[in-house]
Amino acid sequence: MNNTPLLQIQNLTRKYPSPEGDQELIVFENANFNIERGEFVCIIGHSGCGKSTILNVLAGLDDASSGVVIMDNTEVKGPSLDRGVVFQNYSLLPWLSALNNVIFGVRARFPDWSRKQVKEHSYKYLKMVGLGDGAEQRNPSQLSGGMRQRVSIARAFAIQPKLLLLDEPFGALDALTRGTIQDELIRVWSDTDQTVFMITHDVDEAILLADRILLMSNGPYATIAESVVIDIPRPRKRAEIIHHDAYYPIRNHLVDFLTTRSKNTHQMDPSTPPVLNQQPLTVRPGIVPDALHLNTLPTVSNKFTKNRLTALTGTES
């Protein structure tokens, strides 16, 4: 069993030239965090702090000014089918059907597969997100926004990447559709034990989906300030999670950071030497000491969550 993190981000910094040609604009600097295998991690921060830039660097679509991204003990250099990306704007090929959009990615990922294997595998993932029985033959223009995002999610999971990157995938959807696709996403993730890194602005969405939430301070000179562990067992249901004892302590902590503390945790003085290799502060606002026993918690379904709870309590689930 490989106990090293799947992803290691070390001292990641992104700078842009100043329009006036003087001091560079440092969006974020010395970002350090790890993502374990099978973990679902969300990142939250105000607009302009560099969340999407970090995701683009992880995807190999952008280069960091300094620092390194290591995945499976190999430095990330450029795009790879080992990293799947789901964007907010769907990014589907408009001249292909929903099924053929998924097939396009699967064929590139598994070039030695037969045509039948590729088609069956692609259709299986479309069915997993609720698209089938004829809907798979429609072109993107014939699909609703929610259905297009389902296709995008199915394509990303179908190529079976080591890391799935989600850039606010539900931001353009209405509340009812967003809730349905969130449920489908978590079901597919639980079945596949994928590793997921997701950007969101929605605190409640992050608590529902994530094992951990990374909090970014405001830019410029943004940092990964905290790593908030979501001590709410899985499976989680949106109608029930709000009644869990840990829910509001976690939510209040996140909101307090975003409204108050995020303004005060970034490096104000650019002349101050940066601190290297510093992991974000790990906090557990939802922890209830008397309840730290697996036999008092609902059954969990994801391998990463089981391992984390076992390490915390010393008890097998």
Tokens of 103: 């097939």
Mention every residue, 6+ apart, whose C-beta is less than 8 A from residue 221.
26, 28, 29, 266, 267, 268, 270
Residue 136 domain-assigned? no
Residue 127 domain-assigned? no
Q: Give the domain CATH number at 57.
A: 3.40.50.300
Mean pLDDT of 152-171: 89
Residue 190 domain-assigned? no
Q: What SS3 state is found at 28?
A: strand
* pLDDT given for residue 146 in this prediction: 84
- Its sign, for the CA torsion 223, 228, 229, 230, is negative
Mention every residue, 6+ apart, whose C-beta is less than 8 A from residue 7.
34, 35, 58, 69, 70, 71, 163, 195, 197
Omega cis (within 30) before 235:
yes
Residue 74 domain-assigned? yes
Q: What is the pLDDT of residues 174-232, one digit of tens each?
A: 788 788 888 888 888 888 888 999 999 899 999 999 999 999 998 888 899 999 999 99
How many CB atoms neighbour CB 19 within 10 A? Answer: 7
Tokens of 169: 């995938």
Residue 103 domain-assigned? no
Q: Which domain holds residue 306?
A: 7-82+163-170+195-313
pLDDT tier at 299 (50, 70, 90 boundaries)? Answer: very low
Residue 228 domain-assigned? yes
* pLDDT given for residue 270 in this prediction: 55
Residue 129 domain-assigned? no
pLDDT tier at 265 (50, 70, 90 boundaries)? Answer: low
The number of folded domains in the chain is 1
**Contact between 50 and 216 (Cβ < 8 Å):** yes
Q: What is the pLDDT of residues 115-147, one digit of tens each?
A: 999 999 999 999 888 888 888 999 999 998 888
Statement: residue 297 has pLDDT above 80: no
Statement: residue 33 has pLDDT above 80: yes
* pLDDT given for residue 295 in this prediction: 44
Q: What SS3 state is found at 110?
A: coil
Residue 184 domain-assigned? no
pTM above 0.95, yes or no: no
Whose structure tokens read 């995020």? 262
Statement: residue 306 has pLDDT above 60: no
